[in-house]
Structure 1
């Protein structure tokens, strides 16, 4: 009978530890994912900004030397990420594939123009900057027009600012929620041992002596939960970096190490503080209050 009761108690204890580790790992994993998002917000914003193209349309009488020099000067400009020349024939072929029919046969001529697609660096994808660049290029005699999606640029910059702000707000709120959830799990674990705490106190054990094993066990569970969270975040990061290599998610190793260290430290600190507060609460309770 007593052996059966011991097995029951052991299973109950293991179940309690498992639930604490699982809750810590899940919360820290979500916190780590949010940390990745915060770290890569600017990188993601830059990626979308650099998809915006400024198209320089060239006059039909533009000389090949002039076009070549313009392309080279644009490619070497400090604001340029890439500059690609697109002939009117290539543009017509691409447009025909897009609409599903050969419009040249219907028109009898090619109305399109030679052009250069310029993708700007993210820092220059601003309404004022693009307008100034467009005016400088348009001043050349052999340039017919400089075109870009001005409403898209304005909307993109507004959305980037708005999303960055809300991500910071969400980070603060979620960090608070993470602390509260882990604290709740630790308190429930300590609550099940409240009579043991009070018994130890009644036989003369000091508060620090009583707290020590509970804090050590909780910190141990916090480390295990943090390591599980780190493995999960690392796996997700590896998957995303392979699927979206252009984002270079593994480029900032220093920031990633700080994030991983923060997750591990968070698992230790939060469990230590939560256990200290929980055990202190039961140490200060009267014996009769333990039943409520």
Structure 2
């Protein structure tokens, strides 16, 4: 009987490992999944913006060498989207006429007798230059190139897309902040409940003269380790979830950025350690200040 009682004694600073790690992992996983959604939605918004074309119309009767020079000058601009090569495509007036015929089924050459269209460059712009102010500056700069007649883009469409992306961004950010608050509360309550079973042990250490720092140290260290371990588990689950989603959704991997995931995983690990530390510190200080009657 005496041996059984000895085995049941709890070590100072110990927690119920499985339940605490499981609870913290679930809380961090909720935060991580919202972060996962934010990363993908942000990249998707950028992709939508970068698919909008800016059309650079050239002067009529321009020589082929001048067209090549203009194309090279545009491609060298810092705001031009680059995917293996600058996204600047020449569309000749003959190609434009053919596209018009295919789209409408009518050939305007039959009644006009000539092709009134112009050679043009279809240019895609980086997402960071998609504001109307930036596009207006780009328009003015390119129209200053010799041989360029006019630069056009769908201003109303771009403005609508920017407004909608901003609204969606604020909504997702609000949800993420709410999730962050929920995660902090869950981890705090989990550790508080875990420490509840050791409140008398804490008081016993206090009565024999142990300092507050000495009593707190093992609890704080263990809570940080549990938080770190739970963070690693949460990151592993998110990584597995991402790999699975990539295997069933075509093109999803193109929306993913290594640096973004690195930041997300770092945030999860830091959150687990910091919230675990301060939640444990808060709970221990509370029990240290309680009277014996309050402990019961």
Indicate which of 230, 236, 249 corresponds to 2:257.
249
Q: Tell me, yes or no, if the aligned pair for 2:101 and 2:107 is still in contact at 8 Å.
A: no
Partner of 2:18: 18
Shift of 1:145: 5.2
The superposition leaves residues 27-46 of structure 1 with CA deviations (integer Å, 9 ceiling, x where unpaired) of: 22343455567778876654
* 1:214 CA displacement: 3.5
State the SS of the aligned residue for 1:80. Answer: coil
Q: State the secondary structure of the residue aligned to 1:288.
A: helix
> Are residue 230 (structure 1) and residue 235 (structure 2) matched?
yes
C-alpha separation between the residues in 1 aligned to 2:40 and 2:21? 28
Counterpart Cα distance in 2 of 1:205 and 1:38: 51
Count of residues in correspondence between the two structures = 281
* Alignment root-mean-square deviation, CA: 4.7
Given that 1:201 and 1:283 are in contact with CA atoms closer than 8 Å, whether structure 2 keeps it comes out as no
In structure 2, stretches of 5+ residues that fail to align are: 82-86
Deviation at 1:182, TM superposition (A): 0.6
Q: Can you list the C-alpha shifts for 1:15-38, whole angstroms capped at 9, x where unaligned?
A: 953232122122223434555677
Partner Cα separation in structure 1 for residue 269 and residue 137 of structure 2: 48
Structure 1 residue ranges without an equivalent (≥5): none
Report the equivalent of 2:289.
284
Q: Which residue of 1 aligns with 2:192?
A: 187
* 1:149 and 2:154 correspond: yes
- With normalisation by structure 2, the TM-score equals 0.68
Task: Determine the C-alpha separation between the residues in 2 that align with 1:219 and 1:234.
Answer: 22
How far 1:116 moved relative to its partner? 2.0
Tell me the SS of whatever aligns to 2:51.
Answer: coil
- Residue 84 of structure 1 deviates from its aligned partner by 0.4
Larger fraction in helix? 1
Alignment of structure 1 residues 44-193 onto 2, 5 Å: 46-57=46-57, 61-81=61-81, 82-87=87-92, 90=95, 103-104=105-106, 114-135=119-140, 137=142, 146-162=151-167, 172-193=177-198
Give the TM-score taking structure 1 as reference length: 0.69
Cα drift, residue 123 of structure 1 = 3.6
Aligned pairs (5 A) from 1:188-203 = 188-198=193-203, 200-201=204-205
Give the CA deviation at 1:118.
0.7
Relative distance call for 1:60 and 1:186 in structure 2 (3 A) is: same
CA contact (8 A) 1:195 1:290 kept: yes
- Give deviations 1:67-116, integer Å, cap 9, x for gaps: 3333232222333222101345655666787x6xx815899688876432
What secondary structure is seen at the aligned counterpart in 1 of 2:78?
coil
